[in-house]
């Protein structure tokens, strides 16, 4: 018998949330930061030849280098 027929639509949606969405969200939050760190370390290795993380690059990535008005509006005109 289907879960909807046994317990109703609201309980079925709650069950799906608890069994699929909640674990996905929790484990995504646990796995994403180390994955980003490994990716940044890999980029550092490709550019410098040794493993490491350049924190100056991370700081510069958060600050824009050009203003939006200096960017060309379109390359097709």
- Residue-range domain boundaries for the chain: 3-70
Distance of CA 72 to the CA centre of its chain: 29
User: Average pLDDT of 7-17?
Assistant: 89
21's torsion region: left (phi>0), alpha (psi -120 to 50) or beta? alpha
User: Average pLDDT of 32-57?
Assistant: 85
Asked if residues 32 and 39 have their Cβ atoms less than 8 Å apart, the reply is no
Q: What is the spatial distance between Cα 74 and Cα 72, in angstroms, rounded to a whole number?
A: 6
Instruction: Look up the pTM and report it.
Output: 0.53
In eight-state DSSP terms, residue 69 is G
Residue 1 confidence (pLDDT) above 60: no
Predicted pLDDT of residue 19: 92
Residue 5 confidence (pLDDT) above 80: yes
Distance of CA 18 to the CA centre of its chain: 22
């Amino acid at each position: 018998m289907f879960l909807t027929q046994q317990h109703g639509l609201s309980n079925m949606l709650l069950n799906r949330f608890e069994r699929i969405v909640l674990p996905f969200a929790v484990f995504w939050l646990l796995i994403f930061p180390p994955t980003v760190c490994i990716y940044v370390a890999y980029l550092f290795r490709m550019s410098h030849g040794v493993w490491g993380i350049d924190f100056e690059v991370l700081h510069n990535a958060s600050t824009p280098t050009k203003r939006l008005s200096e960017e060309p509006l379109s390359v097709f005109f």
